Amino acid sequence: MILVDRNGVVASDTMIGEIEQLTYLAAAVLIAHTDEGRRCAVCSGKAFPCLAAELARQAVALRR
Ligand SMILES: [Zn+2]
């Protein structure tokens, strides 16, 4: 759980684990939502990167 108080974001005991789970999910999204001729392989007809791929890319960047 990610907590926010008057001092800002507070790391809970599970925060690191939740970020890690988020990055695993994001990595799975990035594997599926690939560039197929400038179109997303999953989101039929949508330009690549689709919203899911873009959000997943940002989530993966949290781990760095
Ligand atoms: Zn997509």
pTM above 0.85, yes or no: no
Q: 4 C-alpha to center of ligand 1: Å?
A: 31
Tens digits of per-residue pLDDT, 47-58?
999 999 999 999
Boundaries of every domain in the chain: 2-61
Q: 27 C-alpha to center of ligand 1: Å?
A: 13
Q: 54 C-alpha to center of ligand 1: Å?
A: 9
Q: What is the pLDDT of residue 6?
A: 79
Ion ligand 1 — residues with CB under 5 Å?
A: 33, 40, 42-43, 50, 52
Tens digits of per-residue pLDDT, 11-41?
677 777 888 889 999 999 999 999 999 999 9
Cβ atoms of 63 and 20 within 8 Å: the answer is: yes
Over 11-35, what HEC string results?
ECCCHHHHHHHHHHHHHHHHHHCCE
